[in-house]
Amino acid sequence: MINIDSLELSYGDDGFRLSIPHLKINDAEKVAIIGPSGSGKTSLLKLISGILLPQKGEVSIAGVTVNQLSDAGRRDYRITNIGFIFQDFELLDYLNVQDNILHPFRITQALKIDAQVRSRAKDLAEELGIANKMKRLTDTLSQGEKQRTAICRAMMTSPKLILADEATGNLDPSNKTKILDTLFRTTDKNNATLIAVTHDHELLDRFDRVIDFKQYCDLGAK
Amino acid sequence: MIDSLYLAWRYIVFNRVKTVTLVLCISLVSFLPFALKILLNESEHQLMSRASTTPLLLGSKGNSLDLVMNSLYFSKEKPEFISMKAIEKILDSYLALPIPLYTRFQAREYPIVGTSLDYFEFRKHSISSGRAFAMLGECVIGADVAASLNLDIGDSILSSPENLFDLAGVYPLKMTITGILDKTNSVDDKAVFVDLKTTWVIQGLGHGHQDVKTMSEPGAVLSRSDNLVTASAKIKQYTEINLDNLESFHFHGDSSIYPLTAIIAVPNDQKSATILRGRYLTEQKNHQIVRPKQVIEDLLSNIFQIKEFIDAVVFIVAIAMVLAIFLVFSLSFRLRQKEISTILHLGCSRFTVIQLIVAEIMIIVLFSGALCYAALLVLQYFQGEIVHQLFIS
Amino acid sequence: MNRSSTRFARKAVLFSSLLLALSNTNAEQATSLNIYTVNYPLKFFAENIAGEHANVTLPMPADIDPAFWAPKAEEVSGLQKADMILLNGANYAKWLPKVSLPLFKLVNTSSEFRDAYIPLSEGVTHNHGAGGKHAHTGTAFTTWLDLSLAEKQAKAVFKALSRKKPNLNAEFVKKFIPLQASLLAMDSELAEIGEALQGQALVGSHPVYQYLKKRYQLNIQSVHWEPEEAPTAEQWAGLKTMLETHPAKWMVWEGKPAAETVAALEELGIKSIVFSPVSNAPEVGDFLTIMQENIAALKAIPTAQ
C-alpha cells in the first residue's frame, strides 16, 4: 500500500508547486495518472520512488517511509522493490536483450546475478515472447519488442510496485493495447501495484482508478 | 567491479571505431618516445661496439665519417682508395698489425669484404659450418646472408656488376662458399668475406684465361713468336675459379699499388699507437689515420642533440593528444547523460557511474599499453636490422 | 700459531711455488711454435735457431720444387693454423697469390733487401685486350744462394722468433750466432772461388743461379735442362749456339745429371758439377753440408792459369 500524506514539493524558477494532502493506493491496484503537461505526474513517480525528496510530507510504501531513507537506502529500496518502465524504453543500445534485462543486477551491489536470476530472465522473456531475441542488440527490435524487453527488466526483481511513465506513448495503437495487456498480466501475476502516467485516454477504462493530477498542482506564475 | 568492466567492455566493443581510434592514438603517442629511445640506444650500441673495438683506421684523406662508416659498417659511401704500399709501411714499422679492407663490390645487395684471415681473429668471429677461405675465389658468408639467400657450404654466389652498361668493366665472379660465420649480431652477418686478392680478381687486376702459349682456336691468337704472344679479346677469361683453372690465375703489374679502401691497424701497445698516429699526422699528406671511437662519439653527440629536440616535439604532441583524448571522453560522457540518468533512476549510485567510466578508460588504456608493448617488443626484435637500414647503410 | 704449524706453512708455500714454476715451464715447453716454411733453407734456419721450441714443417712433398707447389685447400687450412709462416720473398712461392693466409703470421725473410732482388728478363710475354704487353717473368727467387743474403734471411728468422717468444731471445741468440758464422764463412769462401775463377764461362742447367752469379761474379749462363731427363735435339742445338759466344767447359747442375747426358757433354768438352740449390729437403745431409758440397764442387773447377 502506498500512502502519501501532506506532501509538498516546489521547484523551478517559475514557482511550480505540487501539494498532495492525502493519496492512498492499495496493493495490486492499477492506477492511471492523467493531467496536463507539466502538472507534476512524473514528479509524483519520482517522489514515490525516492528519486525526489519533498519539502514537506511523507511517502511510504508498504510501511517504509521512503523519503526518510538515506540516499543509499532509497537507491537499494528502489532497485529491489520498484520496477520502472519509460516512454523511450531507456534500453542500452550496446547491450543485447539479455544484458538489458539483467542490467539492474549489474549496477548495484544489492543484487547479484546467479543461475536462478538467469533462469528468471529466460522465463520472463519466454512469457513476453522475446526469448528468441535474447542475443540481439536492441536496435534490431521493433517498438513493441523493445517495450517488452523494458517490462522484463522492470519485472526481474519481482517488484511490488511498477511505475510506468507513458509506457505506451511511443507505440502504435495495436501495440499500445498489447503492451498494456502484457503489463497488466505481469503485474497481476506478481500481485504488484501499477501506477501508470498516461495520455492515452482510450486505455483509461482498463484501470481500477484514474487520478486527475490537475487537482494537486499549482503551475505557478506563467 | 567485474560488472562494471563487463558493461564497459560491451560499450567499447559496440563503439569499436571510436575505441580503435583511441587505442591507436594512445598507443602511438606512448610508443614514439620509447621507440626512439630503443632505436637510439641500439644505434649507439651498434656504432660504439664496432668502433670501440677498432683501435685505428687508416684511409685516404677526406671525410673521416665516410671512412669509418664504410670500413666498420660497410655503408655504401665509398672512400677514396689507398694502395697496398700502406700495408707494407705499417708492417715495416713493427708498430701495428694491419688488416686490409676492400669493400668496393657487392654480391646481390650484400657487401663483399676483401680482407685477410686476420679479420676473423680480430673480430673474434668463429665459423659455424665449413671452413675459412683457403684458395682464390672462395668466400665465407655471414649468417644472415646464408639464411636469407638459403645458401650452404658448396653453393656459390655471384658478385654483382658495378654498372650494367659498362661492358668492359667489372665482371661478375662466381665465388664458392666454404664457410658460414656464427651469428655475430653485427653487420658482419650481412657480408660476404673473401680474400683481398679475390676482390682484385673481381676488379680485373688478376684473371685466369686459356694458356696463350698452347691456344689454337682460330682468331684467338693474333701473333706468336718465341717470347711474345698477342692474344685477341676472344680469349676466354674465367668467371669462376676452380681446381681446374686455378693455376692459370695471375696478377699483372706491381701489387704494391693495388687498391684498398682502408686498413684496420692493431697497434702493439698504446705507445705504438701514439707513434703511428703521429707519423700520419705529420708525414702523410694523402692518408689519414683515425680513431673510430672518437669519430663515432662525435656523430652520436650530434644525434643525441637532435634526439633532445625530437623528445620535446613528441612531448608537445603527447600533451595535445592527451587533451584531445580528454575531449573525446568528455563528449562521450555528455552523450551518455540520458543513459546515466536512467541508471540513476533505476537505483545505480554515482560511485558506480564513476566506476563504469573508469572501467572504460582502464580497458582502453590497457589495450593501448598492450599494443604499445607488443609494438616495442617487435621493434626490439628487429632493432638491429632497422638501425642498420636507417642509420648505418 | 705454534712453531711446527709455521714451519709447515712455509714448506707448503715453497712447495706450491715450485709446482707453479714447474707447471709454467712445462706449459712453455708444451706450447712450442708451429712454423711452416716455403722452402728447405728457411726450414733449416728455423730449426737451427728455435731448436726444441718449434715444430717446423715444409708442407710440400720432397720430390717437387717448393716454388711451384700447388697446395690443396686442406693443405692451406693446415698452413692457416700455423703460428708463423716463413716466406722467402722475391715472389718465390708461386702458389702464394692463390691462397689465403693470415697476414699477421707471414714473415717475409727478404723484406730488408728488396732492392737486391734480381728481375728476370726471360719468359714468355703475352698481351690481350687493352691492357698491353705483360710477361710472366718476375723476379729471381733463389736468394739464399747468395750466402750474404742467406745470412740476412737467417737473421730475419731469428728476429721473428725473438719477437714471438721474447723470453727465449737468449737461447735463440746462442743458436743463431754459430749459424750466422757458418753462413758468412761460406760466403767468404765462395767469394774467393769466384775471384779465382776470373769470369770463366760456366753453363747452368737451369736459370736458378742468378744470385750466386751476381754475388760471386760467376760468368754463368743457363739453359733449361732437367738433370734426370735426356736433353732433346733442340736443347742440344740451343747449347751449341750458346757455346759459340759463351765457351763454357763446365756445366753446373742443380741435381745429379743422367750419366748419358754427362757423357754426351764430355764429348763436347764440357764437364759436370752439381751445385744443388737445396730448395727442398735433401735425402742425406742438411743445408750446411749440401752447401759445403756445392762449394767443394765449385772449388774443383780448375782456375785459369
Q: What is the pLDDT of residues C76-87, one digit of tens each?
A: 999 999 999 999
Does some domain include residue C112? yes
pLDDT tens-digit profile of A133-164?
Answer: 999 999 899 888 898 899 899 988 888 899 99
Tell me the CATH number at C212: 3.40.50.1980
Asked if residue B139 lies in contact with residue B194, where contact means CB atoms within 8 angstroms, the answer is: yes
Quote the pLDDT of residue A168: 82
Quote the pLDDT of residue C11: 54
Task: Say how far apart CA C223 and CA B208 lie, in whole Å.
Answer: 28
Quote the pLDDT of residue A96: 94
How far from each other are the two terminal CA atoms of chain C, in whole angstroms?
93
- Of C183, C207, C238, which residue constitutes the final position of a domain? C183
Contacts of C133 in chain B (CB under 8 A): 228, 230
Residues 6+ positions from C81 with CB-CB distance below 8 Å? C34
Average pLDDT, integer, range C8-18: 52
Do residues C38 and C179 both lie within one domain?
yes
Does some domain include residue C279? yes
User: What is chain B's Cα-based Rg?
Assistant: 31
Do residues C84 and C164 both lie within one domain?
yes
Which range marks the domain in which residue C72 is found?
Answer: 32-183
Residue B35 has pLDDT above 60, yes or no: yes
- Which helix (DSSP H) or strand (DSSP E) does residue B206 occupy? strand B206-207
- The C residues from 146 to 165 touching B (CB cutoff 8 Å) are 163
Distances in Å between the Cα of A213 and the Cα atoms of A32, A193, A220 are 10, 18, 15
- The A residues from 102 to 161 touching B (CB cutoff 8 Å) are 103-108, 110, 113, 137
Taking one residue from B and the other from C, the number of pairs with CB-CB distance under 8 angstroms is 97
Do residues C149 and C277 both lie within one domain?
no
> Look-up: residue for cell 712447495?
C15
Q: How many CB atoms lie within 10 A of CB A39?
A: 22
B347–A107: do the CB atoms touch at under 8 Å? yes
Quote the pLDDT of residue B1: 81
Quote the pLDDT of residue C136: 41
> Look-up: residue for cell 763436347?
C268
Average pLDDT, integer, range B21-30: 89
Residue A213 has pLDDT above 70, yes or no: yes
Q: Structural domain boundaries of chain B?
A: 2-46+299-392, 55-292
Residue B2 has pLDDT above 80, yes or no: yes
pLDDT tens-digit profile of B268-314?
Answer: 999 999 999 998 887 667 899 999 999 999 988 887 788 888 888 88
Q: Which chains touch A (3 or more CB pairs under 8 A)?
A: B
Does some domain include residue C288? yes
Q: Which residue among A46, A76, A92 sits closest to B347, beta carbon to beta carbon?
A: A76
Best to test chain B binding among A94, A96, A100 (most B CBs inside 10 Å)? A94
What are chain A's domains? Answer: 2-218 (3.40.50.300)
Residue A4 has pLDDT above 80, yes or no: yes
Do residues C82 and C220 both lie within one domain?
no
Hey, which bits of chain C come out as E strands?
Answer: 33-37, 54-57, 84-87, 106-108, 125-128, 133-135, 201-204, 219-222, 250-253, 271-274
* Chains A+B touching (3+ CB pairs under 8 Å): yes
Quote the pLDDT of residue C124: 47
A106–B11: do the CB atoms touch at under 8 Å? no
Residue C28 has pLDDT above 70, yes or no: no
Instruction: Label residue B387 by pLDDT band (50, 70, 90).
Output: confident
Do residues C140 and C264 both lie within one domain?
no
Quote the pLDDT of residue C131: 38
ipTM above 0.85, yes or no: no
Residue A119 has pLDDT above 90, yes or no: yes
- Of C119, C154, C183, which residue constitutes the final position of a domain? C183
Does some domain include residue C20? no
Do residues C46 and C101 both lie within one domain?
yes
Do residues C157 and C195 both lie within one domain?
no
Domain count, chain C: 2
Shortest Cα–Cα distance, C184 to chain B (Å) = 25
pLDDT tens-digit profile of B159-217?
Answer: 987 765 555 556 789 999 999 999 998 899 999 999 999 999 999 888 776 655 555 55
* Chains C+A touching (3+ CB pairs under 8 Å): no
Asked if residue C118 lies in contact with residue C89, where contact means CB atoms within 8 angstroms, the answer is: no
Do residues C55 and C96 both lie within one domain?
yes
Shortest Cα–Cα distance, B72 to chain A (Å) = 59
C198 sits in the region (left: phi over 0; alpha: psi -120 to 50; else beta) called: left
Do residues C40 and C176 both lie within one domain?
yes
State which residue of chain B sits closest to A76, comparing Cα positions: B347
Q: Which residue among B100, B212, B249 sits closest to C98, beta carbon to beta carbon?
A: B249
Do residues C155 and C193 both lie within one domain?
no
pLDDT tens-digit profile of B85-121?
Answer: 999 889 888 899 999 999 999 999 899 999 999 999 9
Do residues C41 and C162 both lie within one domain?
yes
Q: Which residue among A46, A72, A94 sits closest to B349, beta carbon to beta carbon?
A: A72
- The segment with the largest mean pLDDT, out of A203-207, B231-235, C21-25, C301-305, is A203-207
How far from each other are the two terminal CA atoms of chain B, in whole angstroms?
53
Q: Is C25 at the interface with chain B, CB within 8 A?
A: no
Quote the pLDDT of residue C143: 97
Lowest mean pLDDT among A43-47, B234-238, C145-149, C276-280: B234-238
Distances in Å between the Cα of C163 and the Cα atoms of C46, C148, C156, C290 are 14, 23, 11, 30
- Of C149, C183, C217, which residue constitutes the final position of a domain? C183
Does some domain include residue C3? no
Shortest Cα–Cα distance, B321 to chain A (Å) = 27
Residues 6+ positions from B320 with CB-CB distance below 8 Å? none
To the nearest whole percent, how much of chain B has pLDDT over 90? 48
B97–C104: do the CB atoms touch at under 8 Å? yes
One-letter amino acid of B57: L
Do residues C105 and C205 both lie within one domain?
no
Task: Say how far apart CA B53 and CA B39 lie, in whole Å.
Answer: 21
